[in-house]
């Protein structure tokens, strides 16, 4: 098995990396954590394995609904990153972020307050922050300059994708993935408020969902037992980091501060709890299942 250091790096994000395996790609999730878009110097042990394990779970669970890029969490995965990496098919990515919102929060809430609409979609009057929407909505976005995504209308996204029929398919697939996942998560005591998918075409022209899916880094997970509309919700995974950051005097500009060990330990527990609630599997069993 090749060592990670010998593989060509093809892309890197704030908290993960992608490597070239020839025919396939290797997607590696790190233990890094960001708040307010800034990565902390302190890792959260096992965060990468939790997120990767969740993506693997969802790819298996939704593969009959929507084809995806997942190949293996073991074959071709270097020993040193087992648990937090998967091999995937290469796709030609569609340059549109496929956001689905079931609840009104974040930038969607801001846009709704200013205009009564999100992504050009008219929403009912009188919604409160964090309210559940009458039905999930597709609010595509595009990568803007500063890495910050900009919500666009369906028509603008269709223009960017270069194909209106393709965007219609992306919308339908995104809504069906979100609906299936939100229903499953709700049964596990987690509100899946919103999420983001990325799609691409494989070598045979088959449309597949790629990237990570339905993780706390690509979605908002809220604990269902303290869900209450009319205010912002606590994040399932980052509540301790954000609470600590708010009381620390950090002004949310880089560099992010080191995290205290109790915040690290509490946050690790929340990630593991998210994995176990969603998958119904002990987190240790996931690690053992993919161990070299
Ligand atoms: C995903 C990203 C990451 C940094 C490219 N199956 C695929 N085929 C071709 N390209 C991609 C995928 Cl998933 C692809 N990204 C996002 C992921 C690190 C950036 F792990 N960029």
Q: What is the dihedral of CA 27, 99, 240, 281, to 10 degrees?
A: -60
pLDDT of residue 148: 81
Q: Is 2 in the pocket of ligand 1 (CB under 6 A)?
A: no
Pocket residue to mutate for ligand 1, from 20, 24, 27, most atoms within 8 A of Cβ: 27
- Assigned token pair, 162: 């270069």
Residue 222 forms beta bridges with which residues?
191
pLDDT of residue 171: 98
Q: Is 18 in the pocket of ligand 1 (CB under 6 A)?
A: yes
Residue 87 forms beta bridges with which residues?
26, 72
Q: Are 25 and 90 within 8 A, CB to CB?
A: yes
80: which residues sit within 8 A by CB, 6+ positions away? 3, 4
Query: Could you say which residues of the chain have pLDDT below 50?
Result: none
3-state SS, residue 247: helix
Q: Is 48 in the pocket of ligand 1 (CB under 6 A)?
A: no
Exposure on the CB side of residue 276, measured as CA atoms within 13 A = 10
Give the separation between CA 54 and CA 272, rounded to whole angstroms.
Answer: 10
Q: Are 44 and 64 within 8 A, CB to CB?
A: no
pLDDT of residue 288: 98
Kindly report the protein residue whose alpha carbon is nearest to atom 15 of ligand 1.
211
pLDDT of residue 144: 76
Q: Is 27 in the pocket of ligand 1 (CB under 6 A)?
A: yes
- Assigned token pair, 153: 């209308």
**What pLDDT digit, counting tens, does each position of 204-245 carry?**
999 999 999 999 999 999 999 999 999 999 999 999 999 999
- Assigned token pair, 264: 């690290």
pLDDT of residue 10: 97
Ligand 1, closest atom to CA 13?
4
Pocket residue to mutate for ligand 1, from 13, 211, 215, most atoms within 8 A of Cβ: 211
- Assigned token pair, 236: 């399932």
* Distance in Å, CA 30 to ligand 1 centroid: 14
Q: Is 91 in the pocket of ligand 1 (CB under 6 A)?
A: yes
- Assigned token pair, 45: 């042990």
């Amino acid at each position: 098995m090749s060592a990670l250091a010998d593989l060509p790096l093809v892309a890197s994000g704030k908290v993960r990396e992608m490597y070239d395996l020839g025919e396939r790609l290797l997607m590696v999730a790190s233990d890094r954590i960001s708040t307010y878009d800034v990565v902390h110097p302190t890792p959260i042990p096992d965060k990468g394995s939790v997120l990767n394990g969740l993506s693997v779970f969802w790819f298996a669970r939704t593969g009959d609904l929507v084809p995806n890029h997942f190949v293996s969490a073991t074959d071709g995965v270097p020993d040193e990153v087992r648990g937090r990496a998967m091999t995937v098919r290469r796709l030609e990515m569609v340059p549109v972020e496929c956001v689905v919102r079931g609840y009104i929060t974040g930038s969607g809430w801001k846009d709704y307050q200013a205009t009564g609409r999100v992504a050009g979609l008219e929403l009912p009057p009188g919604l409160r922050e964090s309210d559940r929407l009458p039905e999930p909505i597709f609010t595509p976005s595009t990568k803007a300059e500063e890495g910050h995504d900009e919500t666009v209308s369906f028509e603008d996204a269709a223009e960017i994708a270069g194909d209106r029929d393709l965007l219609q398919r992306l919308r339908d697939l995104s809504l069906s993935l979100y609906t299936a996942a939100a229903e499953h998560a709700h049964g596990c005591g987690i509100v899946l408020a919103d999420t983001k998918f990325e799609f691409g075409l494989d070598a045979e022209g088959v449309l597949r969902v790629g990237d990570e899916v339905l993780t706390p880094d690509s979605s908002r997970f809220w604990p269902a037992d303290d869900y209450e509309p009319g205010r912002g919700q606590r994040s399932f995974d980052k509540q301790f980091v954000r609470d600590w950051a708010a009381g620390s005097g950090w002004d949310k500009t880089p560099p992010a501060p080191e995290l205290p060990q109790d915040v690290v330990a509490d946050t690790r527990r929340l990630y593991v709890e998210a994995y176990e609630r969603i998958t119904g599997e002990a987190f240790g069993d996931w690690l053992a299942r993919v161990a070299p």
